Amino acid sequence: MPYYYMNTSYIIYILPGLILALYAQAKVKGAYKKYGEIFSQSGYTGATIAREILDRNELSNIPIQRVSGNLTDFYNPGDKTLHLSEGVYGANSVAALAIAAHECGHAIQDATDYAPLRIRSYLVPAAQFGSNFAFILFFAGLFFSQFLMNLGIALYAIAVLFTLVTLPVEYNASGRAKTILAGILPQGEMEGVHSMLNAAALTYVASMATALGTLFRLLALSGNRRD
């Protein structure tokens, strides 16, 4: 397979997603820095706003745990725990409250059996397996057989499906967070909430675009090998 074709396919299919990912990361860091320095008049911290939201939704059984790092927040549907990063857990910033509320949105999704979240949970093992072995099989197929290439593409398609299902999950969680916080925070702070969550949502769009671009590139390289 000509090197120039592989290089060209990288530019066509991969580069746009990478550029979008870099832009999204810059937006998140910019919003986090800006609204991480604006303190909320509500007096809540990330942990206390999360506790308030969970209790209001009859989820008092969900513990809130501090985890190391920044922007490492997540909700674990497996053991029903909410994890807030060091920069969110005890912080009173608008950014911290937005992030904490977003993670509470996932907990509420889990409690209400939100279908896309359930589907994403089912896809996790297959998506991880596909991400780990798809490229090994595909590039082995470049030298040995078309079957291995096709198998690699099929495995990677599962990982792509995971990124597609992730989009409604994340946007829905952000929508829930915005609605909840609009009833708690002063109206003037909601601009920061929207900016923070919209920037975070863009990272998932970028992940999907990168995954789709990679899948299309694998398909193009496979087709070129057959030709």
Q: Give CA–CA dist 16/210, Å, rounded.
A: 8
Q: Which of 37, 52, 58, 103 is catalytic?
A: 103
CA dihedral 145, 207, 4, 140 (to 10 degrees): -20
The reply to whether 103 belongs to the active site is: yes
How many distinct helices (H) and strands (E) make up the chain?
A: 8, 3
Please name the residue that has the structure tokens 């807030």.
84
Q: Which residues contact 85 (CB under 8 A, 6 or more apart)?
A: 66, 67, 68, 69, 70, 71, 72, 73, 99
From 36, 42, 55, 45, select the one nearest 187 (Cα to Cα). 42
Q: List 81's β-bridge partners, or say none.
A: 76
Please name the residue that has the structure tokens 């490229």.
135
Q: Which residues contact 199 (CB under 8 A, 6 or more apart)?
A: 24, 27, 28, 30, 31, 32
Residues annotated as catalytic (active site), given as ranges: 103
